[in-house]
Every structure is written in structure tokens, then in C-alpha cells.
Structure 1
Amino acid sequence: MSQPTGGFHQRLQALAAHQRQAFMAALCERLLPNYALYAQMTGAGNPAGVRAILDLVWEQLSVREARIDFERQAEKLAELEPPADDDSFGARRAVEVVVALASLLDTLRGEAPDAVLEVSRISKSGVRAFIEMTESEEDASRLSKLVREHPLMADENDFQDAVLEAAEKPLDRDALKALRRLGRNDGVSNLGLEAG
């Protein structure tokens, strides 16, 4: 099977708008358990509320005629963000979920050409932060090599490659369902964590 030409970012930017949205929705699916874990640990947040907004995105992607007020959804999402004064690791990962989903909603409300790169970057930077926290390596160059070669980062890169490959194909309902399943990743987040 031949690989599409061009680097990862070029291929992302070459996607049609609905393909980019499907790519971002799949990444948001995989980020969602991080928000759920934050809510479990702190009693704050509303995973069901975030889930409902993401479900509406999938509905819009698979039912072209769907009329969903994404302005209103963006307002609801803003209310679900962890408090700004919570600087815990879990809160920062939960904020990433909200920011990634907000970027996706931006594309449904109008033009946001860089949103797809932003969501890809958010997912990778969460993995990097998790590795940096768990490895406690002081030396910057050793740490950056550790991050690059870490199994979680390899898994993140493979996952994004697989999602991109799926998003590059024609996205009928079955293909979208498969992409959503891929994003759900059996309930395991990009950090290798599961909400109980």
C-alpha cells in the first residue's frame, strides 16, 4: 500500500474541511478520558456535557443536513473548562480537551484553517508533559531524546498517522463510525490512562 506523499503537516492541511473536522473529532475522542479522570479526581467538571458536545460534532459530520447551533455549543463548552486557578496536572490535561474541542467547534462556526494543526499539537504536547512529569530527567537534551523515543510518544505519532490515513479516504457514514471507534481507542487516552 503506497503512502500518500508529503509530510504529516502538509497532508493535514491538504484535507477538505470535513476531513479535518473528522481528524480533530477522533483526536478529541482520545483526549476525552483525561477530562473524565480530572472530574473523577476533583469532583469538578462535567464529562457528560463535554461528551454531548462531541456527539453533536459527529452528528453534524455524518448528517450533512443537521442544523446544530455551534455558537451555543461553544458557550456551553466554555462553562465546562476547569477553573483558571487550578494549575494541577489533571486540570491542565482537562483544559487541553476543552481547547481542542473549542478549536474543532471554531471550524464548524466558520473558517479556522490552523485548528487542525492546533489539535494535533495539543494532543502531542499533553503526552510530552506526561512523559516529562513521570521521567524526572533534569538534563534538557536527554529529556528531549527520552520524549522522542518514549513508547507513549511513539503511540501518539502512530495514532495520529492512522487517523490521518483514515481521514484522507472518502468519509461515508461507515468510515466516520470506524474513525470514531479508532478515536475512542477502547477508552484509553493519549496518556495511556483510562477513566474508571
Structure 2
Amino acid sequence: MFGDKFYKKLQKLMPWQQTVYALALSERMYPNYCLYAESTGRGDTKLFRQALDTMWQYLTERGMHVDLSAILEKIESSMPEPQKEECYGAWPALDACVALATAYNSVVFRLGDEAYDVCQTSLGSVIGFIEMQHGKELTDEELYAESLIEEEMAFQVELLTAVSQPRDASVILKIKELATQNGVSNLGISLE
């Protein structure tokens, strides 16, 4: 949906930028996971929040040592299984977990396509939510007319600009603040 030029820029991001991009989208999807956990009694919002905070800290504090692989295992073990549930919220919650796991993977394995992958995950989450509301698949034209798609694309463009700055703890913390979106997720869900 973004176009080749945007995706090429994502794929050219340096490893730390890939991580920050993926983590920022995870942060933005956090309310989706919380709503799922609150409404079903499943999931672990404390673990998810700690995993987000630990990674932000890891990226901004020099010399911090943490077992990222152990945290990644915990994230993966707490992922919802939407095909086994009746609650639609399991899908966006899974997307949030996948995004967070991808941010961790970007440090542990460094594949180089994490930003692109999480870009697609977040956008797919928004598309799925809109189509669920409409009860059918929508054409690209219909999707482009949706305000949530506009907001998602605008956010990701702004995020790409933000992560393209030179690495500095203050830049990363500003990106974290941007990603919190005042507690409103990519689906327009608020924790308030």
C-alpha cells in the first residue's frame, strides 16, 4: 500500500533503526493486546509492558546487559492463538506480540527486514480490523478511504523520518513518545 520507494527505505535502515521501527509499532499496538487480555482474562500485560520497557532501555542505556533471548521466549509463549478463540481481539493481540517478538529478533538474529515485516503486520492488523467491521474484504480504493488506514500510513511515514535521524538516546526516547500516541493504538483503541 505504501509503494516501492517507501519499502526500499525501510529495507535500507541500519540494524538499530530496524529495531526501533519494529519496537515503535509494537508500542503503538500495545493497547490492542491489553484490551484482549482484559476482555478474555488471557495474556500477560505485565510481561508485554516489561518487554517493551526493557527493549527501550536496552536501546537507550549504554552497557545494559539483559538476556533478550529469554524475554523473547516468554513473549512467544504468551502469544494468543486466534484460531482457537471466538474473540476477534485475539488477532490484533497476536499482531502486537509478533511485532514485539520481531523487535527482539532484530537484535538477537539481525535479519535486516524487521522494519518491513512489522510495517506489514501493523498495516495488516488495521486492514483486518476494518474488514471485520465491514463484514467483507475491501478494495484498495475502499481501504484508502478509511481514516484508520490514512492514520496508519501517516504514522509510519512519520516514524520512518524519525528513525532516519542519527542514533542518540534522546532521539529514541522521542520515538517512544511518538509511538505511545497518547494511549491510542493503530486501531483507534484507547486504554482510557
- Residue pair 2:15, 2:110 contacting (<8 A) in 1 also: no
2:39 is aligned to: 41
Cα drift, residue 106 of structure 1: 0.8
Cα drift, residue 87 of structure 1: 4.9
Q: d(CA) in 2 for partners of 1:30 and 1:24?
A: 10
- Aligned residue type for 1:99: V
TM-score of the superposed pair, with normalisation by structure 1:
0.90
Number of equivalent positions: 188
- Aligned residue type for 1:11: K
1:78 is aligned to: 76
Q: 29-38 or 82-91, which moves further after superposition?
A: 82-91
Q: d(CA) in 2 for partners of 1:71 and 1:78?
A: 10
Q: d(CA) in 2 for partners of 1:155 and 1:174?
A: 25
Q: d(CA) in 2 for partners of 1:155 and 1:178?
A: 19
Q: d(CA) in 1 for partners of 2:154 and 2:170?
A: 22
Question: SS of the counterpart of 1:89?
Answer: coil
1:25 is aligned to: 23
Q: d(CA) in 2 for partners of 1:88 and 1:125?
A: 18
1:193 is aligned to: 189
Q: d(CA) in 1 for partners of 2:112 and 2:14?
A: 10
The 1:7/1:64 distance shift into structure 2, 3 A limit, reads: farther
1:111 is aligned to: 110
Does residue 176 (structure 1) correspond to residue 166 (structure 2)? The answer is no
1:96 is aligned to: 95
Q: d(CA) in 1 for partners of 2:110 and 2:177?
A: 27
Q: Deviations over 1:59-89 (max 9, x none)?
A: 1111231111111001111222124512531
The share of aligned pairs that are identical, in percent, is 31
Q: d(CA) in 2 for partners of 1:177 and 1:109?
A: 21
Q: d(CA) in 1 for partners of 2:62 and 2:131?
A: 42
- Residue pair 2:19, 2:106 contacting (<8 A) in 1 also: yes
Q: Deviations over 1:34-55 (max 9, x none)?
A: 0000011111111111010111
Q: Deviations over 1:4-49 (max 9, x none)?
A: xx81111111111111111111111100000000011111111111
Cα drift, residue 161 of structure 1: 0.4
1:3 is aligned to: none
- Residue pair 1:132, 1:143 contacting (<8 A) in 2 also: no
- Residue pair 1:100, 1:122 contacting (<8 A) in 2 also: yes
Q: d(CA) in 2 for partners of 1:16 and 1:82?
A: 31
1:154 is aligned to: 150
Q: d(CA) in 2 for partners of 1:87 and 1:120?
A: 26
- Aligned residue type for 1:93: P
The 1:87/1:121 distance shift into structure 2, 3 A limit, reads: farther
Q: Deviations over 1:86-140 (max 9, x none)?
A: 253100111111111111111111222222111000000010011111123x5x5
Cα drift, residue 56 of structure 1: 1.0
CA RMSD of aligned residues (A): 1.5
Question: SS of the counterpart of 1:67?
Answer: coil
1:55 pairs, out of 53, 56, 61, with 53
TM-score of the superposed pair, with normalisation by structure 2:
0.92
- Aligned residue type for 1:117: Y
In structure 2, list runs of 5 or more residues that go unmatched. none
